[in-house]
Every structure is written in structure tokens, then in C-alpha cells.
Chain A
Amino acid sequence: MPGPAFLHGERVSLHTWEDEDVEFFQEHRNEEAIRRPLTDVAPRNREQIEEQFEERIYGDDGMVFLVCAGEEQARLTGDEDELTRVGEVAIPWVNQPHGTGMLMYWAAPEHQGEGYIPEATSLLLDHAFGERRLHKVWAMVIEPNRPSQKVLESLGFEQEGRYRKETFYEGEYVDSYRYAILAEEWLDRDD
């Protein structure tokens, strides 16, 4: 079952990825609707996914989480039967000492548009800026991925760059935007 919640909010919580979650991870990371906006074109078999789990998930600085929705009690204990796996939010590595980290996230298609990812990202930013002393968190998003840009904008990220025809997507080159938010902007926001 997913580990007990490491961070929890009103509707979602962030959990450590456990072996029992590999199937969910593999299914969705191979799914077109998810991997394409993430610009990930490689098929991943079980072996590769397991290797990836071991390498990346709990390295030195990484913050990599399974997002779950469900009743608060189930989220706190990680009760598999009562939880719904939604997707992932992560800052997989940190560039120290500059204190910068890259944000990424995805949600299973049936859970997109429900506000889970904005809440999960918000929890992750509280942790990154409030506990881990990051200075800046940035994300790259392709121009056609408007929903993801809206998530970032709703959280206060600023678009700070446009990488011209950076990414090959659905048969053509598309622009990628770089978004970022600073620690002081996140910690001082009023809401």
C-alpha cells in the first residue's frame, strides 16, 4: 500500500512511492495522454520502471510523491482500499547550493481537472520552501499544454521565458515556456 501521508491537505495527500504503486506508475507513464505533454517518448517496461524507482525516488535531495485522494483517515494511514491514486508531484532533484529545483507533475486522465494537482503542488511548495530551504522552483511546459500553464499561473508562477520550437510534439516543433516562483513570493502570498 502507499506509505502513510508525508504531507496532507484538505482533499489530497502526498505519499512515498512503494513497490505496490509500481503498476499505477507504469500504466500511466506509458499512457499517451500523460507522457506526451511531459515530452517523454520512451516506452518503459517493468524492469526499467523498477530501476527508476530505486534510483530516483529517494535520492539525497529529491522530493517525489504519489498523490492520493480519499478520506482523511485513510490518507493518514495509507489504507490502500480506501485511497484513490491520482498521480504524481515531484521536485526530483535540487541544484545545491543555489537552492533551485525543477517541478513536475501528472494526473491520471480520469482525475484531471478536479483541482487535485494544484492542491498537491501547493503542499509540495510548502514543503520545498518552508522546510527544505529552496530558493526557486521552476517548471517547463509546452505551449499546447494550456491546463498545466493554468495550474502554474493559479499558484503564482511567472512565465519567465519562451524557448522557441524547443520540443517535437505531435509531428511538429512547439514552443516551451519556463515558469518559476521564488521562495519569498510563495511564503508571502496572501491566501
Chain B
Amino acid sequence: MTGPVFLSGEHVRLHTVEEEDLDAFARARSNPDLRLPLCIDTPRNRDGLEEFFEETVSDGDGYWFVARVDDETVGAAMLPNVRESDGLGELAYWILPEYQGQGYGREAVSLVLEYSFDELRLNRAQADCLATNSGSRGVLESLGFTQEGRFREAVFQGGEHVDILRYGLLAEEWRGR
């Protein structure tokens, strides 16, 4: 059973993450096209995913959503870490390969940002992104994020060291866009 709709955009709807959605998460964790941009380099089996579901998604820390378009799961968007006392949320997202390039990632992220700033009272959203991930950089930049830093050779991938870019967006920038 799909979880209920929590946030609605023009095409994308963000739903609560249910146990049934773990198949999509399993793909994101295993498919190199997805897991490499997400910097996931350790395999995790079904038991591991169940544990992730119980202890991470369902324990109340962070905010997790499945993105669906026309009743098909296209990806996920989340704030896995929120520091309430600083008003800071870390943003992450992925879109399944067959649905990429259609603006779904951008719409899903904008829904999460609106939620972060208008409902959660956050002041800042930040996201880290591989320097080689032009799709994700495009999403962040088109939404008004500023590149604030470059962590040199922070990740080892495909036989080489790759830079990580840190992006940030403030509530006032989001409201004034």
C-alpha cells in the first residue's frame, strides 16, 4: 500500500515512506547510476533495508518522502538530518534513472524546501553534491542555491578522488525568489 499524499505539486506528489517503498530504496542503494551520485559504496541487503526503515525512517528523526507521478514511484526526497536549534536541514534526493530529466527532481526538492521554510521553521537548507553530478547541480542552482564550498577530493569513485560541492539556501532567499 502506498502511503498517503503529504505534499502536492503540479506533477509530483510526496508521500509518506512505507515498508512497501523499500523496493525503490533498494534500487537507489544498488543501482550504480543512483548510488554513486549518492556516495553509497556499501551494499545493504533486505534485512539492512528493514533496519534502515525501522531505525532511520520511522524513528522520528528527519523527514522522508517518496515522490510519485501518476501513481508511479519516481524517486525520493528527504531531510535526513535536521538541527532544530540552528534551524538547519540537510537535503537529499534521488530520481530513478528512467524518470530523470523531466523536472521531477526539481519539483520534489522545491516541495521539500517550501515545507522546510514554511512549516518546519528552518532557516537554512544545505545539500552536498559531487562535482561530477551536473544533473543535481542544475537542480540546486535553478532553485537558487549558492555554492558555498568545495571539499577537495572528499570522495573516491571510479578510481579517482572527486570533489564534493556544498550548496546552501536561506529562508529569506527562498521567500524572495
Which residue numbers of A lie inside 8 Å of B, CB to CB?
61, 94, 96-99, 131-133, 135
Contact = CB atoms under 8 A, between A and B. Distances in A.
A132 B85 contact: yes
Interface string B56-88: 000000000000000000000000000011110
A61 B121 contact: no
Nearest to A96: B84
B121 A97 contact: yes
A98 B119 CA distance: 9
Nearest to B123: A133
List of 6 A-B pairs having minimum Cβ-Cβ separation, nearest first = A97-B121, A132-B85, A97-B120, A96-B84, A133-B85, A133-B87
A98 B120 CA distance: 8
Nearest to A128: B85
A38 B87 CA distance: 32
Q: How large is the interface on B (under 10, 10 to 19, 20 to 34, 35 or more residues)?
A: under 10
| Chain A interface, >50% SS class | loop
Interface of B: 84-87, 119-122
Nearest to B88: A133
B85 A98 contact: no
Contacts of A132: 84-85
A131 B121 CA distance: 16
A131 B84 contact: no
Nearest to B84: A96
B109 to A, nearest CB: 19
B115 to A, nearest CB: 10
B26 to A, nearest CB: 30
Contacts of A135: 121
A133 B86 contact: yes
Contacts of B85: 131-133
Contacts of A133: 84-87
A149 B125 CA distance: 40
A132 B121 CA distance: 13
Contacts of A131: 85
Contacts of B84: 61, 94, 96-97, 132-133
A69 B158 CA distance: 61
B90 to A, nearest CB: 16
A16 B119 CA distance: 32
A96 B89 CA distance: 14
Nearest to B61: A60
A96 B122 CA distance: 10
A97 B120 CA distance: 5
17 contacts: A61-B84, A96-B84, A96-B121, A97-B84, A97-B120, A97-B121, A97-B122, A98-B121, A99-B121, A131-B85, A132-B84, A132-B85, A133-B84, A133-B85, A133-B86, A133-B87, A135-B121
Given A96-B84, A133-B84, 17 more contacts: A61-B84, A94-B84, A96-B121, A97-B84, A97-B119, A97-B120, A97-B121, A97-B122, A98-B121, A99-B121, A131-B85, A132-B84, A132-B85, A133-B85, A133-B86, A133-B87, A135-B121
A45 B119 CA distance: 42
- B86, B87, B119, B121: residue with the most chain A Cβ atoms closer than 10 Å: B121
Nearest to B120: A97
A97 B122 CA distance: 8
